[in-house]
A = this chain, B = another copy of it.
Amino acid sequence: MKLKIAVLEGDGIGPEIMKQGVAVMDAIAAKFGHEFEYTPAICGAHAIEEVGDPYPDSTHEVCMQADAVLFAAVGSLKFDNDPTAKIRPETGLLAMRKKLGLFANVRPVATFDCLLHKSPLKEELLKGADFVVIRELTGGMYFGAKYQDNDQAYDTNIYTRPEVERILKVGFEMAMTRKKHLTVVDKANVLASSRLWRQIAKEMESQYPEVTTDYMFIDNASMRVLTEPRYFDVIVTENTFGDILTDETSCITGSMGLQPSSSLGEHTPLFEPVHGSWPQAAGQNLANPIAQILSAAMLLEHFGLNEEGALIRKAVTASLDANVRTPEIQVEGGEKYGTTEVGEWIVNYIKN
């Protein structure tokens, strides 16, 4: 298969982990006879410094021409300390999501048995948990009308029927490919926007008679993912709730550095780690490249290259089992490997 891939390494640890992600894709291409063509493009703090725009038109062009975007992370310390700056890495991220129409952010929440001890949760609660959170990514308060002056400010949490239908469809269809259990998370006892979500979800239920659909308020969901994570199969929720819930759920796995995600929508699909740009660690060969590598696996699987994806996953698991791990997940007394060394180990495993 031929694939044109836009490579957006972004800021902080981005370049380092991206290097390993691409190396893994190259190993897969060689082994399976694929042709992956990479086009790098700038974004984030990096792009603000170079051209004054965190998601320049030229980058958007590259993304639009590609079959898929492999993205690392954006954000730098300079901007972290001033979240009110007008031009910031995050505004580029939001522009990218909107322009590429990436309305469905899919975050698998998978645990690794050998890393359960790293979770803040008790192992017996977490073991075997395996669910997916689908977050609406181009609507709600992120993009609704905003206003701010010195005396008041507002954001508008707005959703239209087509926006809600298409994201719920992703949820129902994802449930059909899994354990057929969909949980719609909302706040329908308070919010009008949630009531619209719930109304539409109820209408759609009959189209998916095999799916068991249930409804949960976000405040309750924020507890239930802690007390009973195995309850869930597929969760679907709106943008702001999804922002909070996906961070919470990726954190409970104890291995945030291992969680990939995909963002799907109208144009080119995008694949990226759940974690951020960790500017403090940039250039230090410390960051875990696995979330980036598993994002590459999700990318390949998106194009039906399931054997290729499975091999990457097998290689990742083997590296963990062999204790070839970056510092944050290394067992006590174990040797600590760098970003490069972990990536190279996985590449070698794939080659052989």
Asked if A142 is at the interface of the complex by the 8 Å CB criterion, the answer is yes
Q: Would you give the shortest CB distance from A141 to chain B, in whole angstroms?
A: 6
Q: A122 interface residue, CB < 8 Å from B?
A: yes
Chain-B contact segment, one of A1-9, A14-22, A217-225, A340-348:
A217-225
Mask, A138-168, CB within 8 Å of B = 1, is 0001101011101111111111110000000
- Residues of B within 8 Å of A151, CB to CB, are 160-161
Is A196's beta carbon under 8 Å from chain B? yes
B84 in contact with A198 (CB, 8 Å):
yes
**Would you call B196 and A223 a contact (CB within 8 A)?**
no
A245 neighbours in B (Cβ, 8 Å) = 222
With A153-B196, A193-B154 as given contacts, are A240 and B83 in contact (CB-CB < 8 Å)? no
Is there a chain B Cβ closer than 8 Å to A281's Cβ? no
One digit per residue, 1 when the CB lies within 8 angstroms of any chain B CB and 0 when it does not, for chain A 149-193 equals 011111111111100000000000000000000000001111111
**Across the two chains, which residue of chain B brings its CB closest to A146?**
B192
Q: Are B157 and A141 in contact (CB under 8 A)?
A: yes
**A199 on the interface (CB 8 Å rule)?**
yes
- In the complex, the chain B residue whose C-beta lies closest to that of A126 is B120
Provided the pairs A244-B218, A248-B222 are in contact, do residues A153 and B121 lie with their beta carbons within 8 angstroms? no
A189 pairs with B88, CB closer than 8 A? yes
Inter-chain contact B193/A153, CB cutoff 8 Å: yes
Minimum CB distance partner of A163 in chain B: B152
Contacts of A141 in B (CB 8 A): 157, 190-191
A84's partner among B83, B120, B199, B226 (CB-CB below 8 A) is: B199
Bound-state CA distance A90–B26 (Å) is 56
How distant is the Cα of A65 from the Cα of B335 in the complex, in angstroms?
69
- CA of A90 to CA of B217, assembled, Å: 13
Q: Is B252 a contact partner of A226 (Cβ separation < 8 A)?
A: yes
Contact A156/B154 with A187-B240, A195-B84, A199-B84 known, Cβ cut-off 8 Å: yes
3 shortest interchain CB distances as A-B pairs: A153-B196, A154-B158, A223-B251
Given A155-B157, A155-B191, 10 further pairs, Cβ under 8 A: A83-B217, A120-B121, A120-B226, A147-B192, A148-B193, A153-B159, A155-B156, A155-B193, A218-B243, A222-B222
Residue positions of A touching B, CB distance < 8 A: 83-84, 88, 90, 94, 119-122, 125, 141-142, 144, 146-148, 150-161, 187-193, 195-196, 198-199, 215, 217-220, 222-223, 226-227, 240-241, 243-248, 251-252
The contact sample of 9 A-B pairs, CB cut-off 8 A, is A83-B188, A88-B189, A141-B190, A148-B193, A151-B160, A152-B159, A154-B158, A220-B247, A226-B226
